[in-house]
Structures are given as C-alpha cells and as structure tokens.
Chains A and B, each alone.
Chain A
Amino acid sequence: MSGPLLEIRNLTVSFRTEDGLVRAVDDVSLTLNEGETLGIVGESGSGKSVTMMSVMRLITDPNAQFGGQVLYKGSDLMALSQDQIRSIRGAGIGMIFQDPMTSLNPVYKVGWQIEEQIREHENVSKQAARARVIDLLTAVGIPNARERVDAYPHQFSGGMRQRVMIAMAVSCNPDVLIADEPTTALDVTIQAQILSLIKKLREDFGTAVVLITHDMGVVADMADRIAVMYAGRIVEQGSRRDLFYGPQHPYTWGLLGSIARLDRPRPRRLSAIPGVPPSLIRLPAGCAFADRCGHRFERCSERPELLDRVGNGHLDACHLTIEQKQEVRDRTIHPELVEEKP
C-alpha cells in the first residue's frame, strides 16, 4: 500500500460552550506510517487526547464540531457511516486509555469483555474466542491466564488491568494502536513494564503505535517521531533524534528543561515554564506560547506557520531564525550549565 497508514489532515475540533467556542484542536496534521511509533507530547488540555479520540470518532458530545479529514488506508474516517466506523474501531485501530481502573466494565468478567470484541468483528465460535483470549492474556503477561480469564476487573491490580486493556486493544490484530497516556495512572515500576510490553507487541505484530503522553522520558524511549502540541496546535514535529538533539521551539525547550536528570549537575531548582496555558476560548492571534516565552519579539503577534525551517524535514512553528535559536537554546534548556561557566 502506498502512502501513510493513517493521515490526519487539518483536523479541527471545537466545542460550543456557554463562554464561547473552545478550539481544542486547531488545524492539526499528522501522519503515521506502517510499523512506526509516533509520540504526541503536550501538557493537559493541549488537545492530544481529543485529536486521537476524534480519529476514532469517540467524542459523543453533541456540542463538538469537527473539521478536516482523517484518512485511514485511504478512506476518510470522518465521512464514514456509524456502521463503517464501527468496523474499524477495535479491528483496524485499537485504543488503550489512561485510567485502567475505570476503563473496564466492573460487572463483566475480563475474558468476556475481550471475547465480546473478537466476536463483534470476527465470525468465530465462543470456544475459539475464549481460547484466543487466554492466549492474549498470556501474551500480555497475565500469570495463570486460564483461571484469570474468569475474574472480574476489581480482582486485578491497576497494572494488570492495563495489561487486560492492551490485550483487548490488540485482540483483533489492529494496524494502529492508539495508547492514550497508558502509564500515567500507574506506579513508575509498572510504567516501565507496560511500556516494554507495548514495545514487544509492536515488534511481534508490526503494529503502528500512536503514543500520547506528557512525559518526555516515555517518548524518548519509545517514539520514532514526535509531535509536540501546545494549545491545540502542533508546535514542533520531527524525528526523535532531531527533537531531542536539535529542538527548535521554545516550548519544547521548556519541556526538555523541566526533566530531572541524573547525568547532569544538579540544578538549584528544576526549571519550569512560567505562566499557564492560554484559554482555548480567546487564543491570542499570534503565537499561543508568546506570553510564556522568554524570547518573544514583535513578530510573535502574527501566527507562526508550522514549517520546515531547518531544511531536514523537521517542522516547527517559531519565528526565531535558526541562528537565534542556536544561540539561546542551551541557555534556555540548561541555565545551570551556562551559569557555571566562568
């Protein structure tokens, strides 16, 4: 098949509220190739979850308005009928959610909940579906799966429930797995296990993964390409290497600077990005990050386009020239390193 597996073109999602129109996602374009892992990074409310929920058409709020296209294997998901999108949900695109404690129905056995999905998409017998569920649960590392298949969600720990969710999401061999902050609600030790499980499944089945997170450490570990979102827009997008070694947008610098690192001199204080994200109802006409940015100048009052300014396919939305960026970047990310120089 030619072209990307999943392509989001100029997606816009807004919600009508009493205070006005909230632009949760503003003109977002993304592509996902077969077998690739795309990381979407941003803080709460930056629109990363809403973007991927819109791809699955899982936003049921009657006040939501959508614009743009989502092409999956060439067909526009936004234009499909309810029945057509249903045949893609769960079968072509699987999804894992943030909170495993509430994502499973408490009144059904976990095995039944996975079987339900398999039998919705494939014409298999109950016994065959059950056998497959047991294999899946074993594959995601649930000990004693033959017995645990008949347990209820409340009899599982958070990490085990997330494993069940992963087994469910991959049960119909989807091409795309959307993982919406899959480790946010878990202990750090469990986080690592879940991430390595997703990695393993990705390698075993060749599934493309969209990993939504606010944790730069997670994407550094997992993603081939990374998109950074801020206030509903993509502000920077590039390969993992370029993004970590040559970040172009001051917001990305802020995110990188706020990571506590063990391999660097300990800063007096972990740096944080000053201020709070802007209200999505009255976004400034120019760069949405300008109010929190230490490098703003006159041009920031006009909206920066997401362009390849470096010349290697790395996209960013900042008016600063490459030279200016190089000059101020290290100082912004690691002020403590610069200060210590004589």
Chain B
Amino acid sequence: MLTFVVRRTLWTVVVMFVITVVVFVIFFKTPGVDPARAIAGRNPSPQVLAEIRAQLGLNRPLYVQYGVMMKKIFITRDLVSYSNQGTRVVQEIFAAVPATLSLVFGAALIWIVMAILMGVAAAQLRGRIWDPALMVLALVGVSAPVFWLGQVVNLITQGKLHSSVFSWLPPLGYTSFTTNPVIWFEGLIFPWITLSILYIGFYARVLRANLLEVQTEDYVRTARAKGLSERRVLMRHTLRTSMITFVSLFGLDFGALVGGGAILTEVVFGIHGVGFLTYESLTNLDLPVIIAVVIYGAFFIVLANALVDIAYAWLDPRVRPT
C-alpha cells in the first residue's frame, strides 16, 4: 500500500510538471501571442516594447522564464498579473476558492441525490411510461447548455418577476458565508440548480443503465433466493455494485469543477470564483494567471484521480492491491 501511495505521488508530480511545461510553451511560444504588446497599448514604439520585455523577463531564455515563474508561484508566491499590475496571482486564486467550493459542493449534493433518485426510479419503473419519461427529462437536462440555461434562469428570476415572486433573491454575485449565511444560501440556490441539471441528467442515465445490467446478474438472483427483501436486494446488492461507475465518474467531474471547470456557471451568475478568474485571464491573455489557474486545476484533477483510484479499490475488492 505504501509503495502504491509513493508511486502515485511521484507520478502526480511528473504529470503536473508536464502539464505546466505544455501550457507554458503553448502560451509563451504561440506566434501572435505577445504579452508585451498587449500591455503596451496601441502602436507602441520598439523601445517601449523592449523595455516591457526586459521588465517582465521575456527577453531571457524560455527555460529561465519557466523557472522564474515556477519559483514565483511555489516559493516566493509573488507572481503578479500582467494586466492588473500589482495583483498577486496566487493570493487572488486562494481568495476565489471559497466561492468555487460553495458553488460546487452544493451542486454536487443536489446532483448526487437527484441522480440516484431518478436513476433508481427509472430502473425500478422499467416497462412503464415513467421510465422513458424520466430518461427524456434527463436528456433535456444533458442537452441544455449551461450558458443558455443560466441566462434563462436569470431572465426569469432577475427580470420582471424579481419585484414579485423572486423579491427575496439577492442580485447576481457571491456573498461569502461568513458575511451573511442567508444571502450566501439564497444567492447560490439557482447557480446550484443550473450547474447540477447537466450532471443529474447524465448521472441518472448512467446509473439506470448500470442498474439494469446488474439486475440480471446471477448474484442478484442469489440475493433473492436468500429471502432478502426487494429493498435490501436493491440497496445492498444491485445499487452497491452499480455505484462503482457512478463514483468514478463523480470523482473526476467533481475534481474538474473544483479546479475551475464551472467557468460558464460562474460567469453567467457573476460568482467570482476560480472559473471566473480563468475566464478573465483568458480574455485578457493574462499569462501568469492562466498558468497559475492551470496548475491549480491540474492539481485538483490529479488529486481527484488518485481519490477515485482509492474509492474504486474500496468499492470493488477485486482491484485492491494485495
């Protein structure tokens, strides 16, 4: 087990190194992308450009630039943004994390509960009209793009109805839990629902398919032959083995979202989380922020992968290292 953890950790470091190098090379060596030109404004003179380049260290060899940037992110933590001079990137990301976590945890809770309910209901009601009805509903959820759905939700809740039905709803944006828990909750309700709808649809369909497959397994028949109740057969035998796929998928999606993957939701609802930061840095081509956000996201995805592997071994004894 210890060698497994050590190997896993070393592998994580290698993956993260490769990711940072690739992202660095893409953004710093892509023709047409010149941070100095972006900062210098319209029609800059060559002297000004050269000055900015020297100031940012862009005239030094690429590997030196990479090393300096990594040092500024991990050791001195004083990497500054190109477009907002003086903003410290690492601190900015850490400040954005609570908003992202609030959004993602709430949405994940909704989507797990709803997906299990819908998936189990559809599988149990197979052969009746409810099964296809639920699955069409799930498909609608999967097909509705977040940016569109979010705008529609805003149109309804922040538009004309905001003066009547939704008068309790705070304006768009994020209020931290420590500032005011009630407004924190109210402001996140619709972002949670919007973000979870896509995943509810997808997860419910996956779970239903898995349940139907497992229901035909011999060991489910054995469980019935033992005299167990239908409820116990479902909870302890059918659902338990069906959750293996579900949990693996969840780990990866959750990791990606905590790592800043909820870009569209955060932008549509004005939640200043890591996704919003990513969006801003991409529109401004703010290279230090892009690199830092990518490292942060990659970290969570790699972490989620490791956790999924552990969860997988916990759920399925057949894959446990012995």
Contacts and interface: CB of A to CB of B under 8 A. Distances in A.
Interface of A: 56, 58, 60, 62, 82-83, 86-91, 94-95, 97, 99, 102-107, 116-117, 120-121, 152, 154, 165, 168
A154 B317 contact: yes
B222 A104 contact: yes
B222 A107 contact: no
Given A89-B224, A105-B241, A165-B222, 18 more contacts: A58-B225, A62-B127, A82-B230, A83-B229, A86-B229, A89-B226, A97-B218, A99-B218, A103-B219, A106-B317, A107-B241, A107-B315, A107-B316, A117-B226, A117-B228, A120-B227, A121-B227, A154-B317
Nearest to A104: B219
Given A107-B316, A120-B228, A152-B317, A97 B222 contact: yes
Contacts of B317: 106-107, 152, 154
A82 B229 CA distance: 8
Contact of A89 (B227, B232, B237, B241): B227
B222 A116 contact: no
Interface string B216-250: 01110111111111101000110011000000000
Contacts of A95: 225
A249 B145 CA distance: 69
A117 B318 CA distance: 23
A50 to B, nearest CB: 13
Given A105-B241, A107-B240, A120 B226 contact: yes
Nearest to B244: A107
Contacts of B228: 86, 90, 116-117, 120
Nearest to A99: B218
B32 to A, nearest CB: 54
Contacts of A117: 226-228
Question: Taking each of B224, B230, B237, B240, which has the highest tally of chain A beta carbons within 10 Å of its own beta carbon?
Answer: B224
Contacts of B224: 58, 60, 89
Nearest to A59: B221
Given A105-B237, A107-B315, A152-B318, A88 B218 contact: no
B226 A106 contact: no
A90 B218 CA distance: 16
Nearest to B218: A102
Contacts of A94: 225
Contact of B227 (A90, A105, A106, A165): A90
Contacts of B225: 56, 58, 89-90, 94-95, 97
Contacts of B227: 86-91, 117, 120-121
Nearest to B315: A107
Interface of B: 127, 217-219, 221-230, 232, 236-237, 240-241, 315-318
* 3 pairs of A and B residues whose beta carbons are closest in the complex: A90-B227, A89-B227, A102-B218
Contacts of B229: 83, 86
Given A62-B127, A152-B318, A105 B230 contact: no
B223 A105 contact: yes
A154 B318 contact: yes
B86 to A, nearest CB: 55
A103 B236 CA distance: 15
Given A62-B127, A154-B318, A102 B217 contact: yes
Contacts of A104: 219, 222
22 contacts: A58-B224, A60-B224, A62-B127, A86-B229, A89-B225, A89-B226, A89-B227, A97-B222, A102-B218, A103-B219, A103-B222, A104-B222, A105-B223, A105-B241, A106-B219, A106-B241, A107-B317, A117-B226, A120-B226, A120-B228, A121-B227, A154-B318
A58 B216 CA distance: 12
B322 to A, nearest CB: 9
A113 to B, nearest CB: 8
Nearest to B223: A105
Contacts of A90: 225-228
Given A58-B221, A58-B224, A95-B225, A106 B127 contact: no
Nearest to B314: A107
A237 to B, nearest CB: 26
Given A86-B229, A120-B227, A103 B218 contact: yes
A275 B267 CA distance: 71
B246 to A, nearest CB: 14
A168 B218 contact: no
A154 B320 CA distance: 11
